Chain A
Amino acid sequence: MACGSILQPMRNSTGLVTAALALFASTAGARVQDRSEGAKVGDFLPDLELPTIDGTRTIRLSELRGQRLLLIQFASW
């Protein structure tokens, strides 16, 4: 059993940090971004497939094309 304190300065914890748009791993598209750069406004939304929180189905984001989408990443805390 071991653990260590990780002493790092805190930054704004709730704001929308621009750098946070290092979003979505497997990017591809008209303006392909690598992971370190992240997806930006003007990029294709990188595709992602995940289960719903009730485990009853999965959704693949690319299947939603043809409709306008608001994607909200959050946590209940």
Chain B
Amino acid sequence: MPVWHEKTRALRESGELIVIGITQEQHPDRCRLFAQWQEFDWPILWDPFNLSGAKVVPLIMAVDEYGIIRATRLHPDRFEEQFMARVFDAPGPAPEAAPRVRRGLSAADASPVDHALARILFEGMEHIDETVHALEASAAETASAETQFRLGVAYRLRYDSALTRPDDFQAALDAWGRALAEDPNQYIWRRRIQQYGPRLDKPYPFYDWIAKATAEISERGESPQPVLVTLTESEVADPRRKPLPWHEHEEPPDPKHRITRDRGGLVTIESAAAPHTGSTPLGQAAPIRVHLALRPDADRDVHWSNDAGPLVVWATVPKGWEIVHNLYTLTPGEDAAETSSEVRRLDFEVVPPLGYTGSGRVRGYALYYVCEGESGECVYRRSDFSVDIEAGTR
């Protein structure tokens, strides 16, 4: 898009042309940062539910003063002759059809889904439960792939909100998978899974530009727009890099189960598994990306004791499956405070045997130092987890 930004600068400044962007992304905060980095000064709209129906991006349309689409195969160097220099005849009256999803839509004038989508887009995240319920009800009644995709978006929005539920992320991935199974040529839908999926299924690293953007914006003397939803490793994984070397040998950190279990739920472990959406090279099994989120109990003011030691995760796969590493250590950054209460995330890939179809269970545990309350006791605890994965075609 930077090239269009530059090529249309004079036209925008002279008032001859309006440029509007529509981003087909789950997270608007990331696009805000991108726009700041690229110094885009034109409005960008957020279309997480794919109301536009776009199947791929980028998608560019030149629209005349009458509201008629005049060109779509546009080249930045020939935009003047392709569109701006042309004279168009006035058409008949423009249609008055209002968008199905729009601001101020009343429940009486809309379907429950359209009303719920309008609430979340124009009124705020406090309505996310209503949106999820409306989409769940619609998905139960129809076999609409579009509804499944939007249900997945709603689950993931709720997962990233204060109203999060432990299964929301997996529910989002499952809904997107059902949508894509119905329409495999819908690349906007495919990208939602690939964003979180295995490295070699990605067409490109999705958000690896964020670190560079943040640094360059800071060098300009500006404050970078905040990235509100923490990036996972899968969202910056580069499919062009060589795979990580397989581990030689790693020892489990608590083989005799001596560390006290966190039976009180100081930290809960949420999990999700993102599938490979595309074909794999002949002779290679399709990996699956496993996501873990370790969430301290906010109601009890549970927080990590960062100066006590790192968070350690041990993961194992069924016989015949592969995993790059069994042992993961999440060390707080050098500038980390003594305590913190953020959700800690880890994702890694597992590979079922070639040709395997069926379920498998990734098992493991986390070891962590946490404290409860401002003056509460600080303890070292173990929490076990298991992630059931369905591998192969359904």
A residues at B contact (CB < 8 Å): 1-11, 13-17, 19-30, 32, 35, 38-45, 47-55, 58-62, 64-77
Q: How far is the CB of A5 from chain B (nearest CB, A)?
A: 5
Contacts of A28 in B (CB 8 A): 95-97
Are A6 and B174 interface neighbours, CB within 8 A? Answer: no
Main secondary structure of the interface of A (DSSP, over half): loop
A-B contacts, 27 listed (Cβ < 8 Å):
A2-B388, A3-B173, A3-B288, A4-B177, A5-B277, A6-B180, A7-B279, A15-B56, A16-B72, A17-B55, A19-B55, A27-B97, A28-B95, A29-B67, A38-B53, A41-B69, A45-B69, A48-B99, A52-B46, A60-B102, A65-B67, A67-B65, A69-B20, A69-B63, A72-B21, A73-B47, A73-B57
Q: Mark B38-56, 1 if CB is under 8 A from A, else 0.
A: 0000011111000111111
Are A50 and B47 interface neighbours, CB within 8 A? Answer: yes
B residues at A contact (CB < 8 Å): 1, 4, 8, 16-25, 28-35, 43-47, 51-73, 79, 83-84, 91-92, 94-103, 121-122, 167, 170, 173-174, 177, 180-181, 184-185, 187, 191, 193, 195, 203-207, 209, 271-280, 286, 288, 359, 387-394
Given contacts A52-B45, A52-B46, contact A75 B387 (CB under 8 A): no
- Pick from B20, B103, B288, B390: contact of A71, CB under 8 Å: B20
Are B59 and A16 interface neighbours, CB within 8 A? Answer: yes
Give the nearest-CB partner of B19 in chain A. A70
Given contacts A16-B73, A42-B69, A73-B60, contact A48 B52 (CB under 8 A): yes
Given contacts A2-B390, A55-B28, A70-B18, contact A62 B67 (CB under 8 A): yes
Are A59 and B277 interface neighbours, CB within 8 A? Answer: no
Q: How far is the CB of B257 from chain A (nearest CB, A)?
A: 23
Are A25 and B68 interface neighbours, CB within 8 A? Answer: no
- Measured in the bound complex, the distance between the Cα atoms of B20 and A3 in whole Å is 37
Given contacts A3-B275, A77-B207, contact A50 B46 (CB under 8 A): yes
Are B59 and A23 interface neighbours, CB within 8 A? Answer: yes
Are A73 and B22 interface neighbours, CB within 8 A? Answer: yes
Give the nearest-CB partner of B198 in chain A. A5
Most A CB within 10 A of own CB, among B56, B187, B278: B56
A16-B59, A26-B97 known; 13 other A-B pairs, CB under 8 Å? A3-B272, A3-B389, A5-B286, A6-B184, A28-B97, A30-B91, A54-B32, A59-B20, A68-B63, A70-B17, A71-B61, A73-B52, A73-B54
Q: How far is the CB of A77 from chain B (nearest CB, A)?
A: 4
